[in-house]
Structure formats: C-alpha cells, structure tokens
Amino acid sequence: MKAVEKAYQLARERYAESGVDTEAALAALRAVALSMHCWQGDDVGGFENAGSLTDGGIMATGNHPGRARTPEELRADLEKAYSLIPGRHRLNLHAIYGEFGGKKVDRDAISFDQFRGWAGWAKEQGLGVDFNPTFFAHPRAAGGFTLTSPDEETRRFWVRHGIACREIGAAFGKTLGKTCITNVWIPDGYKDAPADRMSPRRRLQQSLDEIFAGPLNPRHNMDAVESKLFGIGTESYVAGSHEFYLAYAIENRKAICLDSGHFHPTETISDKLSSVLLFLDDVLLHVSRGVRWDSDHVVVLGDDIRAVADEIVRCDCINRVHIGLDYFDASINRVAAWAIGMRAMLRAMLEALLSPAAKLKELEADGDLTGRLALMEEAKNMPVSAVWDYHCLAAGVPVGAAWLAEARKYEKKVLNKRG
C-alpha cells in the first residue's frame, strides 16, 4: 500500500498549499458516526411475520439471494458490512426486529426484553443504537391509519406502541452510554383527496403528545419526528407532512427527521438544514436516493449528498446533524448495498471537510461571486480520493474496490447458502 501512502503525502501538501489541513479533516471524519439501517439486510422484513410492507406505503423490490432471516444472520451480515466501512458507527433498529423467541408479543406490549440481544451485541461491537417504532406491516395498520386513526382503540394501540418504543430507546441509550434517537414515522394518509385534512392531523398531534408525555433522561433518548409528502396509496394526502412536524418539533423541542425522498422532486434537504437548525437543536437525516419517486435506492456519491455534507460542515453543525441512511434495495447483494451507501456518505463528508469553506465564505462576503464559483469548481479537482484511500487504509478497511472481493467472498460462503 505504498502508493496509497505516497499519494496521501502529496495530497496533503497540495491541500496545505491551499490552506486546508487534511489531518484535521481526517480527525473530524473519524468522529462522524453514521446510523446504519438494519432494514437493508432483510428488505424491511423484521422478525415477527405480521403483515405486508406495502401497508406502510413503502416497498422493497428485487429478490437477490441471501436475505437475513434471523437476528443472528442479520448481525453477522451487519458485522461484515461494518468491516468494509471506515470508522465507528451506529445501528438503526426498527421495532419489528425484536427477538421474540417464537412468541407473539404484540407491538403495544414490546419492551427492552426483546432487544437485550441487540444491546449486548451492540456493546460488544462498540456501536450506538437508534430506534424506530414500526407503525406499518401490521393488521392494525392495514386500514392505513395508526396514530391518526378515528377508531379510538386503534389509535390508543399505536400510542402504546410509541410509548413502549421510547422506553426501549432510552434503555438502549442507558445501557450503551450513547444517546439513542427514537424516530417516529407513520404512513397515515389518503389515496384520494380528503374532505377533512385537519382532523387526522389533530389526532396525530394528540397522539404524539400522549407518546411524549413521559419524561425520559435526554442523555438516554432523543425524540425525532419524520415527515413525508406521499407514499404508495397515500398519494393525495399524508397526515404527517413537513409543515405539521416542523411546527410540532419547534413547539415541543423535538428533533426533525429529514428524509431525502420525502419532498417534492426539485426540493433538496440540503437547503433546509440552515433553516431548521436556527430553530431546533438537533436534526436527524434519512439519507436516501429517490429515482423518479421515493424509491429508496442505495445512496451513491452524487450532487445531493455532496450538498448535504457541505451544508453540515459549512453550518458548523456536525454535532447537531445526526446522519442515518434509509434505503432498501433487494435486487443486489445487501451487504454490498450497505457498504456502498455508507462509504458514499462518508466520502461526501470527507470532501466537505476538505473543501475551502472559509475561503469560499470570504469571497462571498466580499461580493466576489465569480471567485466563489471558480473556487467551488476547482475544489472538485483536488485529490480527495487520495485522502479517502489513505483514510480507509489507516482505518484497516479495504481500499478502493477491494471491499467488493470481501463482499463476494461472504456472499459465496454465507449468503448463497441461505434458502
């Protein structure tokens, strides 16, 4: 790996000449913990075999062999994926991934008991955990309404689920000594134009108030709420819209979760960060890639995530923006899907950390918009990849496409043997 080291030394000098300290950028990058979503490993299946995913307005397509079928398989796959990704990261778990031991524990009755296996494993792996109540893929969600349900019994059921999940989140936070972000997303909405847009939102407000009523130690649990524009079967109206949740989050001091697939196609979440960060303490990101719609394709290094990373760095909010990934592609090797998305997001963060942000702001302040544009373009020619390769090498993970051979080996040895 001599070439990687040599290339890095040259890159370091090159950056230093333009006033950028690569060592400082790498130190900052090492501190970035991404929340890797467990649900890429099994197409959002979970371990309770309850209902159809599309009841939640989302869909995983593809039938690549090797889907994880048990917690043990999923953990093995996750370990493989983490071994291909530089840095120490987090795990994002959904409530349907509990270990139910063959017993039926309904959503409103789950507790940390079903997650001790995950907590023990996370501790051993040095991972923080984030958590999500699962308001979909369940007979009681099949009607399309959970926290907004006009049926009081159904609404109460889902409120109990939300309360249980927050407590599980806090238990993860306490056990691991790392704050757990518990993120509420519900699919509720209408396929066709509703006559009454306000009542479901009023019920959602009430349900959230009930879920968040119990005080929890903020060092253990942080609440987040995730909006959406539309889903499969909720094309005309989604109760949990952006305006609803942003207002709710500001009033109730919650974190807002911005999912890149949940806005109008020409809207970007990067532009929203500087606005919401002026009014909220914390933002959670669900970094995803929509292709023509909220299709949850694997994240790749494109302009969108580069802009997100730039904003996080330029707003100086690296500690207030919590980055999670959210996609589910069942058409390719699932371990590779994790590695590609995680590496892309980290690579984008590195590029942002290496960008001449101070200089760009200075040019802008001086009214030199020509210089600003010119320098932004030239920054793209700087040797980011040399720094990235070196970062992978130093972190003890495969450099360049070498990770793919590892993923393939694992596929042959482990994934392809699954029925």
Which residues form the interface with Zn ion (CB under 5 A)?
A: 259, 286, 326
Question: Does 188 engage in binding with ligand RNT (CB under 6 A)?
Answer: no
For residue 182, the partner it binds in ligand RNT, Zn ion, none, with Cβ less than 5 to 8 A by kind, is: none
Query: What is the C-alpha separation between 382 and 19, in angstroms, rounded?
Result: 12
The answer to whether residue 304 is catalytic is no
Site for ligand RNT in 296-315 (CB under 6 A): none
Tokens linked to 320:
């207030």
Tokens linked to 384:
């980011």
Site for ligand RNT in 336-395 (CB under 6 A): none
Q: At a CB cut-off of 8 Å and minimum separation 6, what does 197 contact?
A: 237
Question: Does 44 engage in binding with ligand RNT (CB under 6 A)?
Answer: yes
**191-217 per-residue burial string, b: 16 or more CB within 10 A, e: under 16:** eeeeeeeeebbebbbebbebbbeeebe
Question: Does 185 engage in binding with ligand RNT (CB under 6 A)?
Answer: yes
The answer to whether residue 185 is catalytic is yes
φ and ψ of 21, to 5 deg: -95, 105
Question: Does 129 engage in binding with ligand RNT (CB under 6 A)?
Answer: no
For residue 42, the partner it binds in ligand RNT, Zn ion, none, with Cβ less than 5 to 8 A by kind, is: none
Applying CB under 6 A, among 8, 39, 82, 237 the residue interacting with ligand RNT is 39
| 59 versus 375: smaller Cβ distance to Zn ion | 59
| 47 versus 185: smaller Cβ distance to ligand RNT | 185
One of 161, 220, 286, 391 is an active-site residue; which one?
286
Binding mask 228-257 for ligand RNT (x = CB under 6 A): x-----------------------------
- Kindly report the length of the chain: 419
Site for ligand RNT in 254-283 (CB under 6 A): 259
One of 89, 220, 228, 391 is an active-site residue; which one?
228
φ and ψ of 35, to 5 deg: -90, 110
Applying CB under 6 A, among 188, 326, 329, 411 the residue interacting with ligand RNT is 326
User: Which residues are bridge partners to 91 per DSSP?
Assistant: 36, 129
With the CA atoms of 162, 158, 203 and 236 taken in that order, what torsion angle do they form, in degrees rounded to the nearest 10?
Answer: 100
The answer to whether residue 226 is catalytic is yes
Question: Does 145 engage in binding with ligand RNT (CB under 6 A)?
Answer: no
The answer to whether residue 42 is catalytic is no
Query: What is the C-alpha separation between 165 and 224, in angstroms, rounded?
Result: 12
One of 138, 174, 262, 391 is an active-site residue; which one?
262
For residue 227, the partner it binds in ligand RNT, Zn ion, none, with Cβ less than 5 to 8 A by kind, is: none
The answer to whether residue 158 is catalytic is no
One of 296, 311, 351, 389 is an active-site residue; which one?
296
For residue 228, the partner it binds in ligand RNT, Zn ion, none, with Cβ less than 5 to 8 A by kind, is: ligand RNT
Tokens linked to 194:
């509703």
One of 48, 167, 188, 294 is an active-site residue; which one?
294
What's the sign of the alpha-carbon dihedral 304, 307, 311, 317? positive
Do residues 173 and 181 touch, judged by C-beta distance below 8 A?
no
Query: What is the C-alpha separation between 226 and 211, in angstroms, rounded?
Result: 15
| 44 versus 91: smaller Cβ distance to ligand RNT | 44
One of 226, 304, 310, 411 is an active-site residue; which one?
226
User: Would you list the DSSP string of 293-311?
Assistant: SS--BPP-S-HHHHHHHHH
Radius of gyration of the chain, Cα coordinates, nearest whole angstrom: 22
- Closest listed residue to residue 67, CA positions, set 39, 89, 95: 39
Tokens linked to 165:
């999940």
In the complex, the residues that contact ligand RNT under the rule CB under 6 A are 39, 44, 58, 94, 132, 185, 226, 228, 259, 286, 326
* Active-site annotation, residues: 185, 226, 228, 259, 262, 286, 294, 296, 326
